Amino acid sequence: MTRVLFVSTSTTLGGAEKTLYCLATGLDPRQFQVVGVVSLKPLGHYGERLAGRGLKTQSLGMRRWPSLGNAAALAGIVARERPDLVHAVMYQAIQLCRFVKGRAGAPFRLISSPRVNYRTRPLWTLLVDRWFKAADDLLICESEASREFLLRRQGYAPDRVRTIYNGVDAPRPEEGLGARLGLRRELGLSEDAVLAACVGRLDVQKGHEVLIEAWSRLPRAPELHCVIIGDGPLRGKLEAEVRRRHLEDRVHILGERADARSWLRACDIFVLPSLWEGLPNALLEAMSLGLPVVASAVDGICEVVRQGQDGLLVPPRDPAALSRAIASLRADPQLRRNLGESARLRVTERFSFPAMMAGYAAAYRDVLSRPAA
Min mean pLDDT across 2-16, 82-96, 181-195 is at: 181-195
Q: Nearest CA to 45 among 197, 186, 230, 284?
A: 230
24 and 160 co-located in one domain: yes
Question: In the predicted model, what is the mean pLDDT of the chain?
Answer: 92
The predicted model scores a pTM of 0.89
Contact by Cβ (8 Å): 65, 44:
no
59 and 203 co-located in one domain: no
pLDDT of amino acid 176: 55
| More confidently predicted of 116 and 256 | 256
For residue 264, count other CB atoms closer than 10 A to its CB. 24
pLDDT of amino acid 241: 96
Min mean pLDDT across 119-128, 289-298, 345-354 is at: 119-128
306 and 258 co-located in one domain: yes
289 and 362 co-located in one domain: no
Task: Write out the residue range of the structural domain in which residue 230 sits.
Answer: 177-350
Strands (E) across the chain are located at: 2-8, 32-39, 57-59, 85-89, 109-113, 138-141, 161-163, 194-199, 224-229, 251-255, 269-272, 293-296, 311-314
Q: How many domains does the chain have?
A: 2
Residue 335 covered by a domain: yes
| DSSP of 15-54 | HHHHHHHHHHHHS-TTTEEEEEEEESSPP-HHHHHHHHTT
User: What type of residue is 330?
Assistant: R
Q: What is the mean pLDDT of residues 347-357?
A: 93
Contact by Cβ (8 Å): 188, 266:
no
209 and 307 co-located in one domain: yes
Residue 104 covered by a domain: yes
3-state secondary structure (DSSP) of residue 202: coil
Contact by Cβ (8 Å): 314, 322:
yes
- Residue 308 sits in a domain whose CATH number is 3.40.50.2000
* 214 phi, psi to nearest 5 deg: -60, -40
Min mean pLDDT across 1-15, 182-196, 202-216 is at: 182-196
Q: Report whether pLDDT(94) > 70.
A: yes
